[in-house]
Amino acid sequence: MSADARGDVRGRGRGGRALVLAVCGGLLATGCATMPDSGEVQPVRGANAVDSQVRVYAVAPRENANPDDIVDGFLEAMTSDDPGFATARKYLTRKAAKNWKPEQSITVLGTAPDREQADRTANLETQGRTYPISGRRIAAVDDRHAYRPTVPEEYAQAIHVVQEPTAGGKDKEWRIDDLPPGLVLGEADFLRNYRSVNTYYFASGENWLVADPVYIRQRQDPVTRMDPVTQTVKALLEGPTPWLRPVVDSPYPTGAGLKDDVTTLTTDDQSTLKVPLNVKADRFGGEVCRRLAAQLLVTLGDLPSVNVDQVELLDVDGKGLCRLGKGQAEEFRAVRETGRDEASYFVGEDGRMMTLAPAGKDAPQSAAPVPGPLGKGTVPLGAVAVTHDGTLAAGVSQDGTALHVSPLTSDQEQPQTVLRSRAGAGAKPEDRLSEPSWDGRGDLWIADRAPGHQRLVVVPDGTGKWTEVRARWLTDGARVESLRVSADGVRIALLITRDGRTTLQIGRIEREDGTDEQIVSVRDLQPVALRMESVSAVSWAGPSRLVVVGREAGGVQQIRYLQTDGSTSATSVLPGLNGVSAVAAPHRENQPLVAASRNDGIVRLMPGANWQPVVKAGTAPVYPG
């Protein structure tokens, strides 16, 4: 049975599996059995649980199965790990089995697809039977493994069955001759079978890597027979997903890929992963080879199933092209590991910029003003931001009129004012400048929300001449409430209000050289938190993850992690906290989240703990970025 909606049985080892299959085959006309790789035999409730250890084994159609059983059995078999989906194809006519391409797409529904009753008025012998298939579509995955969420919408397709002569030609069996494209899975079955992995590509013209999340099979891929490591390498070599492609580079030659028939990649006793490619040595060497090795090392660092200390690339003849170690690949990360705890900052009740001293899980955390004018209260602040290297700070005045920048390494008297809002004298602070954000290039971003004069602005190096960003989507009907730029500088998270509803969008940052200055654009906005009715705060939480504060329709406020592609998991919801107005996440997972609560002031959340008060009064917490 599907782990998504029908319950399952777990068993241990070969004996447990035989028992499971015997029980499933004895009680069900068609379908499948589920079992983990270990654990005692026990019944499992599968309504919404996601357990990647559960294995689903498809069961072939029994002889003379009726049309209802054929459709139900096929829907179950789609959730299995059956090599080549061979058992699922047994439910199809010979022509349909040949043409069906489960690898071309995945339709993700909120729950397992519902099979409705067929129209019984049609002539069964001559017209077959059509079964409506329905559900609530929440996402789709394309043939490049890219996940795209959708506003939950009605899904309506159909499966048609006919009678087809058996191989001997004497009898007929019911089989499916028309069906929806690709795979159709409930969300729980999708998350049990697939996992998100970050593939990495170089930012265009730059020397650092950008995360591009894709989905691969948790175990062996039924179609390619590749293990997860090989799937990940193949996905990387296929190139970036279409949305990210305009702002990243793939340095290797066109057509470069894994050597034919490679389905398994494992490390040797020195934790070296050797990757055989289909290229000749004269087409793939030097810096190109080194950069691809760095992409592979950083990408494979996301896989829990393998520990890779170094990568060696091999040419088509099996000769070594280049070798790179994990330490050497660190220089290509957008945020490099320093070994120091990340500092967090906030605005104190008197408008001064404060920093929180790093503290252990149970140790108290102290706050102190930052060096320089922003910490002295020379200009009362409403929001702040700090460069990734911790040398510069930006602050927006408490009334939202001006953006100031000051070094954090010196004690100068006055900050530099780099931008003023176009809003008139009587405007409210929320109709002036948003909070600022630094990208990893050292550029400073901010939105001016002046009614009738809205604009998105970038300040090169934080102190240069500001440039208005091209944003065709920023019309009179849209308003930027908040923004956060990724460390890699090619993506921006935006909270945008339209028609009274605030949503989270991810935009792609494109740069091109103009006559006098660089032209910067934010394009192709993609919705992320589609299941939330409104979003009130967001922060980057690593290379491709966000922490989001919002409400689902009719629900209470919640804090959860989301991937930049909009995907989520059952473990993404964080402990509840009332009245959250802002949240800040570190780049590394072992550091605490920091939030501002209207009830509790500045609070923090250490990994595996609950929220703890830190400072009684304060707002606008941030980590560098």
Report pLDDT for 284. Answer: 80
pLDDT in tens, 321-353: 999 998 898 889 988 776 677 889 999 999 999
Report pLDDT for 99. Answer: 96
pLDDT in tens, 456-487: 999 999 998 999 999 999 988 899 999 999 99
47-51, 205-209, 338-342: which has the highest mean pLDDT? 205-209
User: How far is Cα 100 from Cα 144, in angstroms, rounded to an integer?
Assistant: 18
For residues 108-146, one letter each, b for 16 or more C-beta atoms within 10 angstroms of the residue's C-beta and e for the rest, the string is: bbbbbbebeebeeeeeeeeebbebebebbbbbebbeebb
pLDDT (mean) for 216-242: 94
Both tokens assigned to 206: 């730059």
402-407 and 416-420 as β-strands: parallel, antiparallel, unpaired? antiparallel
**47 vs 349, more confident:** 349
CB 317 within 8 Å of CB 327:
no
The conformation of residue 258, written as its DSSP 8-state character, comes to: B
Work out the pLDDT band at 237, boundaries 50, 70, 90. Answer: very high
272-276 and 310-314 as β-strands: parallel, antiparallel, unpaired? parallel
pLDDT (mean) for 169-195: 93
How many angstroms from the chain centroid is the CA of residue 437? 21
pLDDT in tens, 253-312: 778 899 999 999 999 999 999 999 998 888 787 889 999 999 999 999 888 888 999 999
Report pLDDT for 320. Answer: 93
pLDDT in tens, 76-90: 999 998 899 999 999
User: How far is Cα 589 from Cα 610, in angstroms, rounded to an integer?
Assistant: 15
Residue with tokens 């700090």: 386
Please say if the pLDDT value at position 447 is more than 80: yes
Backbone angles phi, psi at 556, to 5 degrees: -90, 165
Q: How far is CA 469 from CA 455, 488, 511, 517, 617, in A?
A: 7, 17, 10, 12, 35
23-27, 37-41, 532-536: which has the highest mean pLDDT? 532-536
Work out the pLDDT band at 13, boundaries 50, 70, 90. Answer: very low
CATH superfamily of 344-622: TolB, C-terminal domain (2.120.10.30)
Please say if the pLDDT value at position 51 is more than 80: no
Element (H, E) at 185: strand 183-186
* Domain ranges across the chain: 8-193, 344-622
Q: Return the beta strands (E) in 514-592 as ranges.
A: 518-527, 532-540, 545-552, 557-563, 580-584
Report pLDDT for 52. Answer: 55
**516 vs 318, more confident:** 318
Average pLDDT in the chain: 87
Work out the pLDDT band at 571, boundaries 50, 70, 90. Answer: low
